[in-house]
Amino acid sequence: MTLPRIGVFDSGVGGLTVLKAMAEQVPAHYLYFGDTARLPYGTKSVETVARYAIGAARFLEGQGIDLLVIACNTATALAMPMIKEAANLPVVGVVEPGAAMAAEVSKQRAAIVIATEATVSSHAYRDALQRRGMEAYEKACPLFVPLVEEGWIEHPVTEQVAQVYLGEALAQVPNHADVLVLACTHYPLLVPVLRRVVPAGVQIVDSAESTARVVSMMLSDSDQLSSRGRSEATSQGTSTARSASPADHRTFRFYVTDSVDKFKRLAARFLGRQVDHVEHVDLGG
């Protein structure tokens, strides 16, 4: 019985939260590509982001993957149609799953979206939520990513920054907004802090967890995967994938375009486990 091979792409380490969420639900061989030499993507043009993402997608396709997950909010927001057109296999991004989960849990049909400047400027989450009949209020939180990468997850400074950002957001939205969408893959590490800052009635939707749920559901539909993964998808299904836990039902390989050692240090923080099998690759311009 062949496990599916799932490729995960991000501009850096944030997409590891998506990988972690998927690995908790779906037995698979995971191949992660972090374009660490060319981040941040948020300062680059749509054409450049698309070119980088398509290059990574083709690299992962060359490794024989069955499904590609774009675990990068900027790439998903700016270049998803171009990535899908270039890919020869199913592609999942993080925006639509996050918006779908927010619409599912919201009773008041209004959400606050926190993200990086680039993702907010794209209005990808706003548009996805509006298509589902939801009001969306966007707030850029640029300091969260460096604070997470510094390891200041529970630092008092991080909580103070969260209070400022969320205080500003809450002051600008109606009282009936009842969902906070984490539209950056770094932000799941801040859930304990954010939970203390937002009102008790506000549900937190994590796009990483939402994306993992979509992937798990796709694996239950054998028609959506290539023949490599069909036997696994058909026999396991969503419920089995969620319950399976042996470590040998998951393997991990990592590819990065910059320092392997730095990636290993940060990756351990995001995954909560030591990271091995990291290979440096150079895709060129």
Sheet holding 28-34, edge to edge: 91-92, 67-70, 5-10, 28-34, 250-256, 278-280
* Coil, strand or helix at 132: coil
Q: Which residues pair with 11 in a beta bridge?
A: none
Tokens 């496990």 -> residue: 3
Q: Is 141 noted as a catalytic residue in this protein?
A: no
* Contact call for residues 119 and 72 (beta carbons, < 8 A): no
| 72 annotated active-site | yes
> Among the options 180, 184, 189, 204, which is catalytic?
184
**274 to 12, 13, 66, 188, 268: CA distances (angstroms):** 17, 14, 26, 19, 5
Point out the catalytic residue in the list 72, 89, 103, 112: 72
How far is it, in rounded angstroms, from Cα 94 to Cα 92? 7
> 272 phi and psi, to 5 degrees?
70, 25
- Which residues are marked as active site? 72, 184
